[in-house]
Chain A
Amino acid sequence: MNIRAPIYASTPRYSNLTTRNYNAIGADNYAIESRSVSYSIKNERGKVVPIIKDCSLNIPSGQFWMLLGPNGCGKSTLLKILAGLLSPTDGFVYVRKPRSYVFQNPDHQVVMPTVEADVAFGLGRFNLTNDETKLRVAKALTAVGMYDYLQRPVQTLSGGQKQRVAIAGALVEQCKVLLLDELTTFLDETDQLGVIKAVKNTLSSSEDVTALWVTHRLEELEYADGAVYMEDGKVVMHGEPSVIMDSIEARKASYTDNINS
């Protein structure tokens, strides 16, 4: 989706990208770009409620970025706008194609009864031969460590396994951009790590694939190449994970001090 709309000069409040990550990257090397994106809805009384307010972000190609923020700050809505599921009220959005979106709840993503057929579902529109489909499905399932579950009924899988099948379903389309919406929300620690590593392995094994991972778990930041922090529908910070982590920790400490004093 390429939405051309009036562009406003807008930058995040803090932009601490290093020279290596940001300035050296030309404008063409961004896999995801959004400028002054706003999104609002009308409530039951007909009043306009802004959800996303003037959000700008740039995600360099081939990197694994995280979109963080408290519950209800608009992370998932922004991701849906980037995926083309929602149209922004205002602003400019560019996302390299083909792109894939993975839902928070794997039960919403997995549409076929068996693992193999589900992963292959996204290839239905390409008119591939059975052998080609089989090869691509095998490759995608191997990437997420689920090849042994090829013939398994989906309902017999655990939450983490279902989530990996959902990721394989996105990977099989050989997408350039992966948009991942809070994949680890319903998972325990082991499955959480398994899913993150599956995504990381995929990125390292394939060139030019960019992933934007929405989460509210701070400990996942250590796996990211960069991060965007949102609050109240706005992009507040945008840059290196360590800096964002420090900033969030400082805010937490200040909040705790305020309560204790």
Chain B
Amino acid sequence: MNIQIHPTANFTLSSRNPRIFFLPQFPPNPQKIPKHTYTTKPLFKTLIKCSQTSDSDPPKWDKLLPKNIISADKILRSIAGATSSPICQFISSPTTFLHSVDPRIKLAWLLVLVVIPARTHIYMRFGLITFLATLSVWILPRQVWVDQLGRTALLSGILFLMVGLGADSVPMVVQSRTPPPSMMGLPNIPPSFDGYSYLLFKLGPLQLTRKGLSLASTTACLTFSIFQSASLCLTTTTPEQLAFALQWFMKPLAYVGVPVAEVILTLLLSLRFINLVFDEVRIVALGIVSRRINWKHLATMETVDVFFTYIRRIFKNIFNHAEQITQAMTVRGFRGDSSSHKIYFSSSSSAPIPNMVSLVTLVGLIGAAALSEYILI
């Protein structure tokens, strides 16, 4: 086997360890240095250790390169420092208007808010965003809505810009089938008398057209409404109430053999289990971080090995949790039949006035969305 070795490197040959260690630095001028070729015996039991001589300074450009952006230590530290609470968890107090709305109405709202952005006029889309933002500010505690609205608005804004400017700015790869009017001796299409223009805005190669605006507003509005409405629903509804609403909507499916009770119980157990998984991932990472592993001294395969140990440990603990929870369910009277074990969803009943207001607003929104396509052209 042939190995090409740089002459400025020192080597330590060991007959026991097959790993090869390389330092990340490069020689100052690799082109001028002749290469020597050594022929050695098979390397199965050889350790080659390379180190750089003191007179070889790294080039200037090497200093400018960012290093250690992603490292095992940083990844584990960020996991260990993460919050144990999942995003958008139920906020029990202060009790707001939305807390008193029936969860079934909330689910209907969620469905409508997913469908409407794609089927309405652009004014309606922006109106919907304003409505959801105002509702979030009104319902959620300040620190929650500032954080959530900021993130959702940023994401939607980026999507709006990228889709809006990218929809028509990219030149066509293939030639249009129809030749332009000038080539055929026809006069150009006259400009619109009422000020209509397909092109709305142009900046260098970037242009915002009507098609781009429509696509961008739909994408941004859909993203914003999905994230924000789900967040509003989750923060004002307990998982059990949501499960109850879902069970109510799924009830007809029981007649065609769908195991609704099992689906609902599985959903509730999963919602409980998510937190345990988050905790487990965080705690095991904390355990590894607290061992103060010197990651710089580990070879790549050793680092990978630590990560595999980490994942193995997480799965082991999760399976242990699952086993214990199964035992607890047995002790607490669950006999394996979801339909005979009644789940108590919640004691908090919905109030009639918020329900009525929500329903009327929902119907009004659907009506306005339907009319907007005819009235606003």
Q: What is A's interface to B at a CB cutoff of 8 Å?
A: 83, 85, 100-101, 103, 105, 107-114, 116-117, 120-125, 127-128, 130, 133-134, 137, 150-156, 169, 173
Contact = CB atoms under 8 A, between A and B. Distances in A.
A107 B321 contact: yes
A112 B271 CA distance: 8
Given A105-B324, A125-B333, A127-B342, 17 more contacts: A100-B331, A103-B324, A109-B328, A111-B325, A112-B240, A112-B272, A113-B275, A114-B240, A116-B344, A121-B334, A122-B332, A123-B342, A150-B347, A153-B89, A153-B92, A155-B89, A173-B332
Contacts of B334: 121, 124-125
Interface in B63-113: 84-86, 89-90, 92
A110 B331 CA distance: 12
Given A110-B272, A156-B89, A151 B348 contact: yes
Contacts of A127: 342
B331 A156 contact: no
Nearest to B86: A155
Interface in B235-251: 238-240
B345 A155 contact: no
Interface string B334-345: 110000111111
B311 interface: no
B272 A134 contact: no
Contacts of B89: 153, 155-156
A82 to B, nearest CB: 12
B365 interface: no
A189 B330 CA distance: 31
Given A108-B327, A169-B332, A114 B238 contact: yes
Contacts of A116: 240, 344, 346-347
B243 to A, nearest CB: 9
A173 B334 CA distance: 13
Given A105-B324, A108-B325, A133 B272 contact: no
Contacts of A128: 342
25 contacts: A83-B331, A103-B324, A108-B327, A109-B328, A111-B328, A111-B329, A111-B332, A113-B239, A113-B272, A113-B275, A116-B240, A117-B238, A117-B346, A121-B332, A121-B334, A122-B332, A127-B342, A128-B342, A130-B347, A151-B90, A154-B272, A155-B89, A156-B85, A156-B89, A169-B332
Contact of A101 (B325, B331, B342): B331
Contacts of A85: 327, 330-331
B118 interface: no
A100 to B, nearest CB: 7
A151 B93 CA distance: 9
Given A155-B85, A156-B85, A125 B341 contact: yes
Contacts, number: 109
Nearest to A101: B331
B324 A151 contact: no
Interface of B: 84-86, 89-90, 92, 238-240, 268-269, 271-272, 275-276, 279, 321, 324-325, 327-335, 340-348
A128 B92 CA distance: 26
B248 to A, nearest CB: 15
Given A103-B324, A125-B334, A114 B90 contact: yes
* 10 tightest A-B CB contacts, nearest first: A120-B344, A108-B324, A155-B275, A124-B341, A113-B239, A122-B332, A151-B92, A125-B333, A117-B240, A113-B271
Given A107-B321, A111-B325, A153-B89, A124 B348 contact: no
A260 B84 CA distance: 47
A57 to B, nearest CB: 21
Interface centre among A83, A124, A133 (most CB of B within 10 A): A124
A85 B327 CA distance: 8
Contacts of A120: 344
Contact of A154 (B275, B325, B327, B344): B275
A122 B333 contact: yes
Contacts of B328: 103, 108-109, 111
A187 to B, nearest CB: 17
A83 B330 CA distance: 11
Contacts of A114: 90, 238-240, 346
Contacts of A110: 272
Contact of A125 (B325, B335, B345, B346): B335
A169 B279 CA distance: 22
Interface centre among B240, B325, B344, B345 (most CB of A within 10 A): B344
Interface centre among A127, A133, A134, A153 (most CB of B within 10 A): A153
A151 B333 contact: no
Given A114-B240, A117-B240, A156-B85, A107 B276 contact: yes
A124 B331 contact: no
Contacts of A123: 342, 344
Contact of A130 (B239, B269, B344): B344
B77 to A, nearest CB: 22
Interface centre among A100, A120, A137 (most CB of B within 10 A): A120
Contacts of B347: 116, 130, 134, 137, 150
B159 to A, nearest CB: 31
Given A111-B272, A114-B90, A154-B272, A124 B85 contact: no
A154 B86 CA distance: 12
Contacts of B333: 122, 124-125, 173
A229 to B, nearest CB: 26
Nearest to B337: A125
Contacts of B269: 111
A80 B271 CA distance: 28
Contacts of A134: 344, 347
Nearest to B280: A107
Contacts of B84: 155
